Amino acid sequence: GENVEQHPSTLSVQEGDSAVIKCTYSDSASNYFPWYKQELGKRPQLIIDIRSNVGEKKDQRIAVTLNKTAKHFSLHITETQPEDSAVYFCAAGDSGNTPLVFGKGTRLSVIA
């Protein structure tokens, strides 16, 4: 089955700097890769996702890149702000009924 590894587990950056979170997956059949942001005490919220037919997707300060050959994908947050502080989860899955497999999460702290 699928296995998703996420690094780092914690990340501290200065406000205005960029943050990068990386995930690797094992199942070459996976073709859908979402990222979720979870603020303290709240539900995970989808912030961006990418499908295997594209290599990069951007939404304002957030971008995701996918390298299918190497089986890894990354979340990039530019010009970080204190409100970006949260736990971020990556996930991988296919188009069938198999559940998404989540990484263990990255706790991002943006220091003002």
Partner 1 sequence: SQTIHQWPATLVQPVGSPLSLECTVEGTSNPNLYWYRQAAGRGLQLLFYSVGIGQISSEVPQNLSASRPQDRQFILSSKKLLLSDSGFYLCAWRGRRGRFQETQYFGPGTRLLVL
Binding site for partner 1 (CB under 8 A): 32, 34, 36, 42-46, 49, 89, 91, 93-97, 99-100, 102-105
Q: How far is the CB of 65 from partner 1 (least distance, A)?
A: 19
Q: Which is nearer to partner 1, 83 or 96 (CB)?
A: 96
Q: Which is nearer to partner 1, 65 or 106 (CB)?
A: 106
Q: Which is nearer to partner 1, 13 or 49 (CB)?
A: 49
Q: Is the dihedral of CA 50, 51, 53, 55 positive or negative?
A: positive
Do the Cβ atoms of 35 and 75 come closer than 8 Å? yes
Q: Transcribe 9-20 into DSSP letters.
A: SEEEEETTS-EE
Our measurement of the distance from residue 19's CA atom to the centroid of its chain's CA atoms, rounded to an integer in Å, reads 11
